[in-house]
Structure 1
């Protein structure tokens, strides 16, 4: 393949005299650099290297984002699979069970036996999209490791009285229904 200079000569864009003059100036510049012991800065080459470095950095960032999205998608698929395989029946739905999720009070209708399991902590509520599912605590713990925002944390009522509680002397009856 012919050099760019030869291609310009054949196309008639440059004459032989101009090509020879450029060649002589280039040789003279290289000779001067060898004598002085300095190297000329090739700005075009440096600019190309800088652009190449920026493109490589951008490609790394995009790959990292793509990998993170793929990882998140795989985790969500695992969660959906665990929910589908381990969901428990809510029963006949006689009793309304209220819980809070994302600072909203939500309600699920369950049987009295399922309600007891929820209160005891054997079953846990998992909100997947708009659906609420009941799962065993072991499975819910595995889901909470992957995405804790999906699992509804039910706080057990403590029987201990706080030291500065002004209502400590007033007992709430156990059979009180709201």
Structure 2
């Protein structure tokens, strides 16, 4: 079945029947989905764009998950510190280093002794510092090592001992030395 325009062109003698049939066959082939080369290239471009979008979305999702995990860890550490912090009281200033700065907390004699022996650990909470027992410090260490500021009870891996270290090891320095 031809369209009305084709019929009019045939009656007027402006088109030949063979030419109209050829155009009708070409249109039918296009409708049935025989894609041309340009359509294949366009399809490849859209697939590539979809793959790039999917990759970018995966990267953004991974970044969001990492940030959420970091916030969750920080919340766990904060909760452990709040639940286990030791009440600080006293007038003795206990000094320690946090990075390259000297800090101090006020403690009494009993707390200072526990800090020196390693029974208590100093941890960072926001802008301040808190004292927590060793058990709580181990839980914190599992989640975030950087939250622990001072831990005398933990053995640190140091460089091999030099001759000077061996010589000075015979002179013991007391743990409760106030400086």
TM > 0.5 between the two? yes
Rounded Cα–Cα distance in structure 1 between residues aligned with 2:172 and 2:49 = 72
Matches within 5 A, 1:45-64: 45-64=43-62
Paired position in structure 2 for 1:5: none
Aligned to 2:121: 124
The number of equivalent residue pairs is 148
* Shift in CA distance, 22/45, structure 1 to aligned 2, threshold 3 Å: farther
State the 1:50 CA deviation: 0.2
Q: Provide Cα deviations, 1:60-113, integer angstroms capped at 9, x if missing partner.
A: 111111111111111111111111111001122x21111111222111111011
Residue 139 (structure 2) aligns with? 142
The answer as to 2:168 corresponding to 1:168 is yes
Paired position in structure 2 for 1:109? 106
TM-score normalized by structure 2? 0.69
Q: Which of residues 134, 151, 160 in structure 2 aligns to 1:154?
A: 151
Shift of 1:176: 6.5
Distance 2:27 2:59 in 1: 44
Instruction: Between the two structures, name the one with larger relative contact order (CA 8 Å, sep ≥ 6).
Output: 2
TM-score normalised to the size of structure 1? Answer: 0.69
User: Which of residues 24, 27, 32 in structure 1 aligns to 2:26?
Assistant: 24
Preserved contact between residue 96 and residue 104 of structure 2 (Cα < 8 Å): yes
Report SS of the residue matched to 1:89: coil
Runs of 5+ in structure 2 lacking a partner? 1-14, 16-21, 156-160
Return 5+ residue gaps in structure 1 as ranges. 1-16, 34-38
Structure possessing the higher radius of gyration over alpha carbons: 2
- Counterpart position of 1:13: none
